[in-house]
Structure 1
Amino acid sequence: MEDQTAVALTTKQLWHMRNKWVFESQFLSPQQVTKQVSTSLPELHMLKGVQEKKVSLASSPSQWCKPFFNHYKINWDAAIHKVHCRVGTGVVIRDWNVCVTTTLRSTCASFLDPLLGEAIAALRAVKFCAELGLRTIILEGDSLNVVNAINGQEESWSLVGLLILDIKKLLKQVGVWQVKHVPRQTNAVAHCLAKSSLDLPEKSIHVEDYPHCIHNLLG
């Protein structure tokens, strides 16, 4: 089990190294990655008991639950600015160790339609996963209509329906995926990111970090 943990941790660090280079133009050498793995392993064992306790407290459907080993969970949400006719998207990616690996906040001009806004946010979340090269994912959103549309077989030529078709095409490129509906309180982190994105002049991505607005939600 310890060898499997080391392999998983190395894979995760390599993925982070790639993201640092792609999104922040920062290069980490293989030696730095090896050092990070060696440093993180003892800390991981120390935190294991604490994490297991957190998981036991997250048994309620209203609480966020960590994904299976080697899976990533992506929560998305949308927020609407009625005055400026804009939709804000919030996406948070967490791994099986309950660590936030990446966040995304972005906005675009759109009609003031909540369902359309949720579909736009869902599409942006799936595109983000594809850009990051994630292969085993669980997507969670609080729009039951959008979740049902993604999981369903019915096709629609409405604007929302066309976005759903785009989402389905992208998911075929991902690999193993699930799309689940969760209550609003479970999706609080993504909602906060979406709401704060409306105040940003441009897209904001955090890698191995997250914006201050969600600090108190992650505890």
Structure 2
Amino acid sequence: MWASWVCRNKILFEQECPHFGLVTAGFVKLIEDYCSYAKKVFMPITRRKIRSPSSWTYPSSGCVKYNTYAYFIRIVACALGVVIRDDREELLINISKRMVAGSAEMAETMAVRYEIQIAKRFGYQNIIVETDSWNMVNNVRGWLIGYTPNHLFYKDINMTRLYFNSFTISHVKRVGNNVAHCVAI
């Protein structure tokens, strides 16, 4: 259909007589190229039915728990909140940071990346990361490979997580992430 409209417009407005078969073949090639590109870049996310906690729980002994929240403010601005607590519910670190991000998903990804960099800097070896972004959890767990800017962050997170003796990432409902939310805002 697109090929017929292109040919029609060229005849009516540009006084050209295009070859219909070549125009159609060009559109078919364009669609094939896009489908190939889309398979590489937009990988499907499989979701499993997992119950997410709606309140904060203690990590096991010797672990620290990182709760992160990213607040997408405007087109390019975001606020990150990171709260780090230990198994005695003691607040170890509380951080708020403003950054530039292109989307809400990128903001969440940057928040998790930022918090594991903090964990590495402070020498924690056993960490639990909690975020309210399902996409973030699934993409990090699945070692997702792709070609978007977010995938560079996923790759960096997955390479950095090898530094830790124990690294767990899980989803928590927003209600269970209130402290990090308040820190971000």
Tell me the equivalent position of 1:65: 57
**Which residue is equivalent to 1:87?**
78
Matches within 5 A, 1:38-77: 61-77=53-69
After superposition, the C-alpha distances for 1:11-55 in whole angstroms (9 at most, x for unaligned) are xxxxxxxxxxxxxxxxxxxxxxxxxxxxxxxxxxxxxxxxxxxxx
**Residue 136 of structure 2: which of 115, 121, 146 is its match?**
146
2:175 matches 1:185: yes
Superposition map of 1:10-29 within 5 A: none
| Percent identical residues | 28
Alignment match, 1:161: 151
State TM-score, norm by structure 1: 0.59
Report the AA paired with residue 65 of structure 2. K
3-state SS of the aligned residue for 1:154?
A: coil
CA shift digits 1:130-182 (9 cap, x unpaired): 11110011100000000110100331121111101000111111221100011
Q: Which amino acid aligns with 1:182?
A: V
Query: Structure 2: which 5+ runs fail to align?
Result: 1-51
Contact 2:143–2:154 at 8 Å: present in 1 too?
no
Q: Deviations over 1:107-143 (max 9, x none)?
A: 11222x1111111111111111111110011100000
Q: How many residue pairs get matched?
A: 134
Higher share of residues assigned helix: 1
For normalisation by structure 2, the TM-score amounts to: 0.69
- Separation in structure 2 between the aligned mates of residue 154 and residue 71 of structure 1, nearest angstrom: 26
The residue that corresponds to 1:105 in the other structure is 96
Whole-Å separation in 2 of the counterparts to 1:115 and 1:61: 21
Give RMSD over aligned pairs.
Answer: 1.4
Structure 2 counterpart of 1:188, one-letter code: N
Counterpart CA distance in 2 for 1:154 and 1:110 is 20
DSSP 3-state at the match of 2:61 = coil
Please list every run of at least 4 consecutive aligned residues from structure 1 whose deviation after the TM superposition is greater than 6 angstroms: none
Picking from 78, 98, 101, the partner of 2:70 is 78
